[in-house]
Amino acid sequence: MLSEDCAYCGNLTDMPFHCSYCKDPFCSEHRLPEDHRCVKLRQIRSEKFGERKVIRDGGKGKTNILKRIFGKF
């Protein structure tokens, strides 16, 4: 059996989960990127939110985005 220490809390885990992003072993409690403060979390989030949109709008779109957000609420 491959038992490993959780890279976050250090607990010895008989069936470690390996984060598909940082490849580190984690216990069942810390297997999610959010739960072990994954080093790739920023990357994951930017992928989810679609960084392309921000880049496409460019620098001059910044105030427009704020107006759009605050205008809605």
Q: Least CB distance from residue 3 to Zn ion, whole Å?
A: 13
CA of 42: how far to CAs of 2, 17, 22, 25, in Å?
30, 20, 12, 19
Neighbours of 6 (CB within 10 A): 20
**Contact call for residue 4 and Zn ion (CB under 5 A):** no
Q: Least CB distance from residue 37 to Zn ion, whole Å?
A: 8
Q: Least CB distance from residue 54 to Zn ion, whole Å?
A: 24
The single residue among 4, 22, 44, 61 that binds Zn ion, judged by CB under 5 A, is 22
Helices (H), the chain: 41-49, 51-57, 62-72
Q: Which residues bind Zn ion (CB under 5 A)?
A: 6, 8-9, 19, 21-22, 27, 29-30, 33, 38
